[in-house]
Structure 1
Amino acid sequence: MPTYHIEMMEGRTVEQKRKLAEEITRVSVEILGGSPESVDILITDVKRENWATGGKLWLDRQ
């Protein structure tokens, strides 16, 4: 079964991450089959100072 690697800017609550993990797992099992225990999800919080888009750090965006 799949392993998902999710990188997102920090700031989400534990409850939001919990719901995300539950829904990704549910949809994976629905579409791919298998058991929920076979779905792995790794969430990495990235600080705004460590993420840039279009040459600008998100820390500097207003």
Structure 2
Amino acid sequence: MKKSLKNILKSSVTLGFLYFIASFCAYLAREQLNLFTFIHFILLTFFTISLLIFVMEIVQNK
């Protein structure tokens, strides 16, 4: 149980990090990067990670 939870955490962190880099590059390309959008994408990344962990735990418990 602990091992699989660790793997879920690892994969979700990796996915969230890749997603954050992609969105960060997209905003840099548009040259509209300011503090608000930066904070927004950080929060969005953490939300995505926690949502993914939550869904994976539900699937694992069934």
Shorter chain as denominator, the TM-score bin is: 0.3 to 0.5
- Structure with greater proportional strand content: 1
Give the TM-score, by structure 1 length.
Answer: 0.42
Larger Rg: 1
Give the TM-score, by structure 2 length.
Answer: 0.42
